[in-house]
Amino acid sequence: MPFTKQDWIDRIKTRMDITGMVTHLTKPSKDLDLTDMDFNEINLKAVDNLIQILKDKRINGSTTKTGFITGSTPAVCFQDAPLSGLIQNILHEQERRKKNPKEKLRYCGVGLSFLKPFIYKKDGRPVIYDESSTAKSYLTSSDHWRIVRFNLSNSSNYIDWTHEY
């Protein structure tokens, strides 16, 4: 018996740990010096990027130069997390910034959520968590954009983005 779209919707309704949405969190322009800004000011500056996304009707993908992307195809990052999980991630980033204001800002509490079927129709796909060299051995180069480096072997440099889509 096939699993239908309605089955999928019903399952999501009864689970707190999954969602039918993915969320792209944005941040202020890379040109801004955020060092002396508190997290509320940073969020306000991120609204400028959100407004530009809405005007352009497009989220520009990151590349190997601007993000953690593998391969030559730009990619947009989404979090596959329920609202409560997004809030926890944002609060975690806020605490990290309090401890080290010069640390690279990964994201803040400004973004857009989309239904997964909408993103799927736009060719959005889940990423593949693995060492880049290993994943490149079993993916075609046109799918290298899906690789998200994953490495838990070095306790002083844990690489875990498994909350991203």
pLDDT in tens, 65-85: 877 788 889 999 999 999 999
Q: Are 62 and 69 in contact (CB under 8 A)?
A: yes
Please, what is the Cα angle at 60 between 129 and 101, to 5 degrees? 75
Res. 165: pLDDT tops 90: no
Q: Round to whole Å and give the CA distance between 67 and 148.
A: 11
What pLDDT is stored for residue 164 in this prediction? Answer: 65
8 — pLDDT class (breaks 50, 70, 90)? very high
Return contacts of 36-44, CB within 8 angstroms, 24+ apart. 36/101, 39/93, 39/94, 39/97, 39/98, 39/108, 42/97, 42/105, 42/108, 43/108, 43/109, 43/110
Q: pTM for this one?
A: 0.87
22 — pLDDT class (breaks 50, 70, 90)? very high
Query: What number is the average pLDDT over the span 99-113?
Result: 89
Please, what is the Cα angle at 60 between 25 and 49, to 5 degrees? 55
Q: Round to whole Å and give the CA distance between 115 and 109.
A: 19
User: How does DSSP classify residue 144?
Assistant: G
Identify the helix (H) or strand (E) that includes residue 129.
Answer: strand 128-130
